[in-house]
Chain A
């Protein structure tokens, strides 16, 4: 397209002639260009050499720096174009001879890139190359074509595959920005271009040897305010609901190598149904590089059993009748949702808030799930009322309003990490100072077992510690 030396270009010259003295003292200019290379600096849409070119600025172009991002500066030229340019070529002050209009005026905007060339006279003439392209002249092409010209851009989407664990998702590249891989290489995040959603993909070893139903239970107990759907089949499950006011879709696979592959999508509740479907498709696309998925992680009968338990739980989870949760416990006393069921019963029996602390039953063997089962201990340890406790939380009981949130937060974290935590007032323990609401695991007869549990607990409760005490009960 012809780039005429029109008003747009002349105006800054004229303006400078009149208002040159008013030039900001902090003005910068384009300089330091490679004398044997390009005679211009590219103004780009984003702070990347691969970003689309907005225009080119010749040496001496005066700019104002508006912002910075690493080696890139967000600048505005005198004729109002705004974009990013590499800081190596933006020098402080004014160029030599700036006082003279001739010194910079012609570069106040663009380098004259190319005169309007008339097409060759006759149809059918082949076009000879005009001039060699600058090396980075077309860097923007790749991003642009991948974003807009892919015939399958919304069909098969872009593929992200984690090199370390083989976790794979498909996503529409045109709508998402991929952030860098995590430092340990276990996954990465993606942000939607409109900022309404984000995807987190990661994987990790199933150190606690959780089964798929247990992992599902952990997810359900991870702070969801409401659950809209759950689905479990074989080695994978999906949960959708609301957490912290955002709509969440969580999908997870436990592969044959006992690795958990997770994709979690968080979105504004305001996103439309079409976008939600698109995000659900991304969650559904979670898979593991071929060959990694097996059935060793969970046996089919176990999965069926889990599905039955889940179905039962789904039917009662919102119930206000404690008898239903007791029925659940009767059938699955050590089930995935056992701790949640007990908590629910306690809360329902106590009439709910404002009763500050759910009242635990003091009989350890009735109310405290054996936490060593989650440690993979060869011999389950007998829980005792006296011995070594792992204290994962200890909060002042005053003001009482905070107790409910302390309780819910701690139990949610515990559930997410597969820990069965017992809660009561510290005054009911000998060995604890009174005035606290404590969350404990135990008690264990030996300190070494408690230390082993502590190691696990600190993954979720970094401040957890071991203490010897005796539970006195009511």
Chain B
């Protein structure tokens, strides 16, 4: 019986491991922020930009019609800044939200800001409902989420756009264990669970402090009830 070369066996084993290692997507830790980026292996285009002080990952679904399976997400952009000179994260969120509503989107009909602290993560964000000016194809209805996240080691600005309206939980696949982004360490449960999981129909992951999570979810849900007359 012929004996295979151990080197060849090792190579085959490696290939098998690679083959069964899941989606094949490469997870990227964003510095020591406690947040990882998991670009989908297929169906998305990833562009990166970095300079002396920031790094940007821009993911865009290759096809918007039909919408990708990731809850209708069509574009996710993450800016990771190695500095954090902005003391007022809320003010920064407001300015960024103005830009999302006024320049990145069109015909914004809902704009809902929210803020929370979860462990190491200090978050200010906003949800939007409006459209994108596709020029040749007219206005495409979308929802958007803006997140500013201060960590103990880095500052992130995230925007996500989905073709689903807010009522259909368009950002369930943004954060989470299998999301495009995953948080780790203290506070990760809060970020992975909310606001994403707050809207998800799936059971929330095990949390270190279920009562705290439940309290957070309640607050988040309250935050996500748009007050009457909310708009842009």
Contacts and interface: CB of A to CB of B under 8 A. Distances in A.
Interface in A30-80: 45, 52-56
A274 to B, nearest CB: 12
A133 B91 contact: yes
Q: Name the interface size band of chain A.
A: 35 or more
B216 interface: yes
Interface stretch (B2-10, B18-26, B93-101, B171-179): B93-101
B217 to A, nearest CB: 9
Most buried by B among A56, A144, A149: A149
Contacts of B1: none
Contacts of A154: 60
A450 B63 CA distance: 62
A123 interface: yes
A129 B117 contact: no
Q: Is the interface of A mostly helix, strand, loop or mixed?
A: loop
A148 B82 contact: no
B190 interface: yes
Given A1-B155, A127-B124, A142-B103, A148 B49 contact: yes
A127 B60 contact: no
Interface stretch (B36-44, B133-141, B224-232): B133-141
Contact of A149 (B77, B82, B115, B153): B77
Interface string A363-389: 000000000000000000000000000
Contacts of A133: 86-88, 91-92, 95
B89 interface: yes
Interface residues of B, number: 60
Contacts of B95: 133, 138, 141
Interface in A128-156: 129-133, 137-138, 141-142, 144-146, 148-156
B117 A125 contact: yes
Query: 5 tightest CB-CB pairs across the interface, nearest first?
Result: A151-B75, A124-B216, A133-B91, A1-B84, A138-B95
Interface of A: 1-3, 45, 52-56, 113-114, 116-117, 119-120, 122-127, 129-133, 137-138, 141-142, 144-146, 148-156, 159, 170
Given A119-B117, A137-B86, A155-B134, 13 more contacts: A2-B152, A3-B83, A119-B122, A123-B117, A123-B119, A123-B190, A127-B115, A127-B122, A129-B90, A133-B92, A144-B79, A149-B79, A150-B104
